[in-house]
Structure formats: structure tokens, C-alpha cells
């Protein structure tokens, strides 16, 4: 990438461009780096969500676009929070998203010895010292005085630690004894000797190592001192020859420290660039809140289809392609932003529309009886599998004189602009026949329509109108005798509020969960061909939405998750009509 001449012209359509990609190109052009290598550094302490997907796509994407590689590296330097279980879950999620890293899977814990040696090197250079101050004292000396109540703290000038001028030899001996396990947790730390008056608090002699007699998920009990993120991360990047270390914005203030360690060690200097993390409307993204939802049983688990986690989205029926498309459309910037979840849904619809098999399913069935249909007669109707993809072919669906149609497709008295079934009106049964409604039978107690009667025009077989009559509505159906019962789970936004993280005073945020975020429909019916569907299989249920077979399914009892509904023009009309009166 040294094509200076084209730098002023617009990028090719579809080629992503943003301030980070621009910076990478400049670094190549200026000779700061001669190649591009990135890394994606998850901490194995939780499940991935779609915000992580943004970073994953960025790191792997930029590497690929520049002929480089992206290292997959676990930032596992806090044994108290990290577990092997998460390593596996994260690995599976990234693979599912569609990225490969071959042999380039690393662990920061794999660098512990090298990191330790660099710690000694800084001590020898007089740039690090062992400090005996406890946690509270360190805070006080740093100048950050935590108030007893509330989050407000006061920043004061920092003071040098009384241990700051320890002799090199003493520091070395103490650091070695720290490693040897001679001191209890928290007794001492190794600190960088920088500047206690620095306006950036991270530069006021930050802690490099702390003592933790804890078992690490990979190194076991071989270490009782663990490096801090600020010390570990730049050095791990350096070891791996990472050129561009891309991270979210909260690390921006850490960058001077990142640079300080690399400069003072005189080792390969990676460049850290920060970007704004992703937020979505109608959901929450923070690990803590997500965890609380799970712990409190407000959702069924990390993979609840309402969760913005990758496992949740997968179970919901999202495709990796749609998520990657979404991420690229969202773009990269430093502006704190909240993306409309409608964009995510749009990306899924667009992807699934092209490649999903259609099927007919009735969520809330009402019986339709064709009065002039010969008793017991069954005929096979040919139905197109995907109008967007002729190569998908067609299938047959059994048709009889007793069908189920959607409750919502019948009214005794039609509202304005309603052109589905009501007495006297005709509709087309998708791919089958044009029928005319002759009446409805209602439950005398509830007034609910129990049965719809109609007559069928045999000349319209296949749904054609030989006389060219206009039939405004086409509705879906299944044969009452052939269709199979299934459970459908209809999902909506987890929170009704657009920005659930803004909680009104006096309200528990968990009580703002959308009570309609999950509707379980037990008596749905689907066409018989779906009997063999397997978990993960996706369908478009005509006129309803995209559905995926859930893992809760068992042979003979299928469960479908609604991934996303189809756009519903009628719902908008109905809403508008209702608002208008």
C-alpha cells in the first residue's frame, strides 16, 4: 500500500474507509511500518456481545485488507476472574463470526517470564521500584481521594511514595522475593517510576505487578505475581510484532503509558489507536448489566435470543454475514454513538430474504372450511421455495377443504383499508385457490371467530385468476389435517425504552424490561414438510417473518424462534388509523 497518487481520490465503492484505516495506510506510506499486523485481545471472563463483533471485524478486517494477519490473544492476566470455559466460548464465537487465525492463538500468560525479565530490566534502569504502600495509601499518594459516599472523588496533587528512592539492588531483591512467594497478597507492588505530578493520573507511578496467590487457568500455581494490563498489553503487542493495537476509547488515556513502557524498554513499538465502542438502542451492552439479567433470571441465560450476545444472536437466528454487514455499515469513529437496532434487523432481513426457504405457518390458527370442497379430497399444491432465487425450486403442500388460516386475516367487520377476509370478500390462498368468504361462526361466549366459511372457485387453481379479476389479498394457510403443531417464540426488543441505560429516578432498571419481549405461542401449525427440520434451520414463514429452529426442539416437537418479523405495512396503516381517531 504505497500508492500515494490515489490517496486523494474516493475509495472504491464497498471498500471500507475510516480514520483508523486511513492511519494504517499513512503508516505504511510514511514507512513507520512495513507491514500490518493486528491483534484481538479478549479477556476470558465473559461472553462476547455484538460490541465485541465490531472490534473483531475491525482487527481481522484491517489485517486482511493489508495482506497482514491478526493474532488471537487472550488477555489473561487476572487469575481471579478468568476461566477456561470462557476461552472456549470466545473461541467458538469468533469462529462462528467467520474469522480464522490458524496457529496464531496466543495467551498473555504465555509471556509471563519475558514480562518478568522486562520488569527487572526497568528496575535496573532505575525506572521501577518495589513499593510497600497498601492499596488505600497508593490511592492517597496518587492524589485521588475517594469519597465515602457517592462516585465523586477529588483530585489532589500526588506525592512521592516513601519507597520511591529504594536502591536498585534492594528493589531487585524484593521483586525476586515477591516472585518467590515470600509476601502475602497486596503486601507490595512493583511500580513504574514516572511522575507523581503528571496531569494524567495513569502516569503517576502506575502499578506494574501485584501479588496474588491465585491459581491461573493456564499457568496454575507457578506464579503469585501478576502483571497489570498497562504493563502487559504493550509488551505483548511488541513481542508479537503487532503494528496496530486497536482498542476502545476508554484506553485513550492509557496511551501515554503504553508508549512509555515501550520507549523505556527500547523494544518494538506498536501503535495504539482508539475507537468508540458500539451501543444499540433498546438493549444494554455492559457486561455487568448483561450478567445481572442472567443471574436474576430475567432472561434464560447468556444465549437467550433476546440478548445482544453472540450466542444469543446466533440462537435468535442471526447469520454471521448479517452481523458483519451491520458492523461495516455502522462504521468507525470516535464519536460516542448509539445505533438504531433497526439497522441490525434490516441487515438480517436483507441477508435472509436472498437465501431463506419459504414455508407456510399459521401462528394463531382459525379454521377455514371450504363449503364446496369434496369431502375428504386432498390435492397437492405447488409452492415456490424462494421467489428471490429460482434455483431453490419448488415443493408441494397438501390442500384440503379444512384449513387453518391466521386469526388476524379474518374480520367479521373489516376496519378501514383492510382487504383480507370478511363476509362477502374474496382472497387468494397462496399458490392455491381464490375463495370467497360466506360467513363466520363465533364463540357465543367470547365473540371470537371460531370458524370461517367460504366457497372456492375451482377455476383459480394455482392461485391464478383466469378472468383477470383483482384480488387484493393473498393469505397463507396450512391443511388442518396435515399440518403439524409447533411452538413459536416471538421476540421483541428487550427494553421498550430506546436508551434503557438512562433509568428514571426511583426505578429499578430491570423493571424496565419489555414485558412483551417474549411471547410463547403454543398452538402454531406449520406445513408438514417442516417435520424434518433441524435446530439451526432457517425459514421465512410467508407474511410473518424469519424463523429458526431452536435447540429446545425434539423430534415431534419443534420450537421456532422468530429471528425478525417481515416489514408489516398493514401494521403501520392500522396504527395510523387508530391514532387518527
Q: From the CA atom positions of the chain, what is the Rg in Å?
A: 31
Residue 412 as a binder of RNA (CB under 7 A): the answer is: no
65 is catalytic: no
Residue 580 neighbours by CB distance under 10 Å: 7
- Which of these is catalytic: 139, 159, 164, 287? 287
Quick one: which of 97, 178, 235, 330 contacts RNA (CB under 7 A)?
Answer: 330
- Residue 299 C-beta: closest distance to RNA, Å: 23
Residue 250 as a binder of RNA (CB under 7 A): the answer is: yes
Residue 196 as a binder of RNA (CB under 7 A): the answer is: no
Residue 125 as a binder of RNA (CB under 7 A): the answer is: no
173 is catalytic: no
- With contacts defined by CB under 7 A, name the span among 99-107, 244-252, 292-300, 523-531 that binds RNA: 244-252
Residue 396 as a binder of RNA (CB under 7 A): the answer is: no
Quick one: which of 3, 22, 113, 165 contacts RNA (CB under 7 A)?
Answer: 22
Residue 249 as a binder of RNA (CB under 7 A): the answer is: yes
Bridging pattern class, strands 153-155 and 144-146: antiparallel
C-alpha cell at 83: 476461566
Residue 59 as a binder of RNA (CB under 7 A): the answer is: no
User: Would you say 64 or 473 has its CB closer to RNA?
Assistant: 473
- With contacts defined by CB under 7 A, name the span among 162-170, 220-228, 477-485, 548-556 that binds RNA: 220-228
Residues contacting residue 459 through CB under 8 Å, at least 6 positions apart = 466, 467
Host H or E run for residue 272? strand 271-275
Q: Report the distance separating Cα 46 and Cα 309, nearest Å.
A: 10
- Binding residues for RNA, total number by CB under 7 A: 95
Residue 563 as a binder of RNA (CB under 7 A): the answer is: no
Quick one: which of 66, 71, 171, 232 contacts RNA (CB under 7 A)?
Answer: 232
Residue 71 as a binder of RNA (CB under 7 A): the answer is: no
277 is catalytic: yes
User: Would you say 289 or 300 has its CB closer to RNA?
Assistant: 289
For 455-486, letters b (16+ CB in 10 Å) and e give bbbeebbebeeeeeeebeebbbbbbbebbbeb
User: Would you say 553 or 565 has its CB closer to RNA?
Assistant: 565
Quick one: which of 78, 109, 322, 479 contacts RNA (CB under 7 A)?
Answer: 78
Residue 560 as a binder of RNA (CB under 7 A): the answer is: no
User: Would you say 301 or 463 has its CB closer to RNA?
Assistant: 463
Bridging pattern class, strands 271-275 and 244-248: parallel
Residue 234, judged by CB atoms within 10 A of its CB (0-12, 13-18, 19+), counts as buried
- Residue 557 C-beta: closest distance to RNA, Å: 25
User: Would you say 491 or 541 has its CB closer to RNA?
Assistant: 541
- Three-state SS sequence of 291-314: HHHHHCCCCCCCCCCCCCEHHHHH
Bridging pattern class, strands 225-227 and 153-155: unpaired
Q: Report the distance separating Cα 289 and Cα 285, nearest Å.
A: 7
C-alpha cell at 424: 362477502
Quick one: which of 25, 27, 36, 41 contacts RNA (CB under 7 A)?
Answer: 41
Residue 419 as a binder of RNA (CB under 7 A): the answer is: yes
- With contacts defined by CB under 7 A, name the span among 173-181, 361-369, 414-422, 548-556 that binds RNA: 414-422
Q: Which residue has the cell 363449503?
A: 371
CA–CA distance from 192 to each of 184, 189, 258 (Å)?
A: 21, 10, 12
Residue 450 as a binder of RNA (CB under 7 A): the answer is: no
Residue 570 as a binder of RNA (CB under 7 A): the answer is: yes
Quick one: which of 38, 238, 272, 540 contacts RNA (CB under 7 A)?
Answer: 540
Contact predicate 462/337, CB 8 Å: no
- With contacts defined by CB under 7 A, name the span among 458-466, 489-497, 511-519, 556-564 that binds RNA: 458-466
Residues contacting residue 134 through CB under 8 Å, at least 6 positions apart = 186
User: Would you say 400 or 565 has its CB closer to RNA?
Assistant: 565
User: Would you say 246 or 304 has its CB closer to RNA?
Assistant: 246
Q: What residues numbered 334-393 form the site for RNA, per CB under 7 A?
A: 334-340, 342-343, 346, 349-350, 353, 358, 386-388
Quick one: which of 184, 424, 462, 536 contacts RNA (CB under 7 A)?
Answer: 462
Backbone angles phi, psi at 316, to 5 degrees: -70, -20
Residue 92 as a binder of RNA (CB under 7 A): the answer is: no
Comparing CA positions, the residue from 366, 357, 365, 355 lying closest to residue 394 is 357
Q: Report the distance separating Cα 244 and Cα 418, nearest Å.
A: 58
- Residue 354 C-beta: closest distance to RNA, Å: 8
Residue 250, judged by CB atoms within 10 A of its CB (0-12, 13-18, 19+), counts as exposed
Going 227 to 229 to 234 to 236, the CA torsion angle's sign is: positive
Residue 440 as a binder of RNA (CB under 7 A): the answer is: no
- With contacts defined by CB under 7 A, name the span among 30-38, 51-59, 96-104, 229-237 that binds RNA: 229-237
User: Would you say 384 or 484 has its CB closer to RNA?
Assistant: 384
Query: Which residues face 128 on adjacent strands?
Result: 192
| Distance, C-alpha 429 to centroid of its chain | 38
Residue 425 as a binder of RNA (CB under 7 A): the answer is: no
Contact predicate 224/215, CB 8 Å: no
Q: Report the distance separating Cα 377 and Cα 227, nearest Å.
A: 77
Q: What residues numbered 288-317 form the site for RNA, per CB under 7 A?
A: none
Contact predicate 317/344, CB 8 Å: no
Residue 577 as a binder of RNA (CB under 7 A): the answer is: no
- Which of these is catalytic: 212, 277, 364, 367? 277
Contact predicate 317/489, CB 8 Å: no
Residue 105 as a binder of RNA (CB under 7 A): the answer is: no
Quick one: which of 43, 173, 451, 537 contacts RNA (CB under 7 A)?
Answer: 43
- With contacts defined by CB under 7 A, name the span among 88-96, 115-123, 140-148, 396-404 that binds RNA: 140-148
Q: What residues numbered 155-194 form the site for RNA, per CB under 7 A?
A: 155, 185-187, 189
Residue 572 as a binder of RNA (CB under 7 A): the answer is: yes
C-alpha cell at 307: 440478548
Quick one: which of 430, 493, 525, 538 contacts RNA (CB under 7 A)?
Answer: 430
Q: Report the distance separating Cα 397 and Cα 530, nearest Å.
A: 11
Longest dimension (CA), the chain: 102
CA–CA distance from 288 to each of 28, 79, 215, 285 (Å)?
A: 39, 18, 24, 9
Quick one: which of 2, 3, 17, 534 contacts RNA (CB under 7 A)?
Answer: 17
Active site residues: 43, 277, 287
Amino acid at each position: 500500500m504505497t500508492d500515494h497518487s490515489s490517496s486523494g481520490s474516493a475509495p472504491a465503492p464497498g471498500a471500507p474507509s475510516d480514520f483508523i484505516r486511513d492511519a494504517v495506510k499513512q503508516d505504511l506510506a510514511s514507512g513507520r511500518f512495513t507491514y500490518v499486523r493486528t491483534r484481538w485481545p479478549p479477556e476470558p471472563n465473559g461472553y462476547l456481545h455484538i460490541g465485541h463483533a465490531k472490534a473483531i471485524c475491525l482487527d481481522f478486517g484491517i489485517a486482511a485488507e493489508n495482506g497482514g494477519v491478526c493474532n488471537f490473544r487472550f488477555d489473561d492476566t487476572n487469575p481471579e476472574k478468568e476461566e477456561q470455559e470462557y476461552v472456549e466460548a470466545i473461541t467458538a464465537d469468533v469462529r462462528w463470526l467467520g474469522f480464522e487465525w490458524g496457529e496464531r492463538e496466543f495467551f498473555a500468560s504465555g509471556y509471563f517470564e519475558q514480562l518478568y525479565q522486562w520488569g527487572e530490566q526497568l528496575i535496573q534502569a532505575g525506572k521501577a521500584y518495589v513499593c510497600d504502600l497498601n492499596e488505600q495509601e497508593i490511592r492517597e499518594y496518587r492524589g485521588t481521594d475517594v469519597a465515602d459516599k457517592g462516585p465523586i472523588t477529588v483530585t489532589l496533587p500526588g506525592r512521592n511514595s516513601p519507597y520511591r528512592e529504594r536502591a536498585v539492588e534492594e528493589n531487585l531483591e524484593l521483586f525476586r522475593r515477591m516472585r518467590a512467594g515470600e509476601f502475602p497478597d497486596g503486601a507490595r507492588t512493583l511500580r513504574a517510576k514516572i511522575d507523581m505530578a503528571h496531569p494524567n493520573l495513569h502516569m503517576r507511578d502506575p502499578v506494574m505487578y501485584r501479588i496474588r496467590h491465585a491459581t491461573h487457568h493456564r499457568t496454575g500455581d507457578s506464579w503469585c505475581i501478576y502483571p497489570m494490563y498497562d504493563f502487559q498489553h504493550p509488551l505483548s503487542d511488541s513481542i508479537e510484532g503487532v503494528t496496530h493495537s486497536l482498542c476502545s476509547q476508554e484506553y485513550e488515556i492509557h496511551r501515554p503509558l503504553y508508549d512509555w513502557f515501550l520507549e523505556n524498554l527500547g523494544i518494538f513499538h506498536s501503535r495504539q489507536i482508539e475507537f468508540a465502542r458500539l451501543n444499540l438502542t433498546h438493549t444494554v451492552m455492559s457486561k455487568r448489566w448483561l450478567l445481572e439479567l442472567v443471574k436474576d433470571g430475567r432472561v434464560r441465560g447468556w444465549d437467550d435470543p433476546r440478548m445482544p450476545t453472540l450466542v444469543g444472536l446466533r440462537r435468535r437466528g442471526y447469520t454471521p454475514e448479517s452481523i458483519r454487514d451491520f458492523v461495516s455499515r455502522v462504521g468507525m469513529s470516535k464519536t460516542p454513538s448509539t445505533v438504531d437496532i433497526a439497522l441490525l434487523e434490516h441487515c438480517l432481513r436483507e441477508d435472509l430474504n436472498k437465501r431463506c426457504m419459504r414455508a407456510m405457518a399459521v401462528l394463531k390458527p382459525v379454521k377455514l372450511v371450504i363449503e364446496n370442497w369434496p369431502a375428504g379430497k386432498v390435492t397437492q399444491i405447488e409452492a415456490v421455495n424462494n421467489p428471490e432465487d429460482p434455483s431453490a425450486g419448488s415443493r408441494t403442500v397438501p390442500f384440503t377443504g379444512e384449513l387453518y388460516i391466521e386469526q388476524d386475516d379474518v374480520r367479521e367487520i373489516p376496519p378501514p383499508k383492510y382487504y383480507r377476509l370478511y363476509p362477502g370478500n374474496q382472497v387468494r390462498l397462496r399458490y392455491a385457490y381464490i375463495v370467497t368468504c360466506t360467513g363466520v361462526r363465533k364463540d357465543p361466549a367470547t365473540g371470537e371467530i371460531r370458524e370461517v366459511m367460504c366457497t372456492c372457485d375451482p377455476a383459480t387453481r394455482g392461485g391464478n385468476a383466469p378472468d383477470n379479476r383483482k384480488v387484493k389479498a393473498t393469505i397463507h394457510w396450512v391443511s388442518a389435517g396435515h399440518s403439524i403443531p409447533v411452538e413459536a417464540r416471538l421476540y421483541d426488543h428487550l427494553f421498550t425504552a430506546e436508551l434503557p441505560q438512562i433509568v428514571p429516578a426511583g426505578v429499578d432498571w430491570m423493571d424496565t424490561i419489555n414485558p412483551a419481549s417474549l411471547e410463547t405461542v403454543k398452538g402454531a401449525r406449520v406445513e408438514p414438510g417442516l417435520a424434518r427440520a433441524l435446530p439451526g434451520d432457517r425459514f421465512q414463514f410467508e407474511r410473518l417473518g424469519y424463523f429458526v429452529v431452536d435447540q429446545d426442539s425434539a423430534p415431534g416437537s419443534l420450537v421456532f424462534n422468530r429471528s425478525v418479523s417481515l416489514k408489516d405495512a398493514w401494521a403501520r396503516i392500522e396504527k395510523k388509523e387508530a391514532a387518527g381517531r
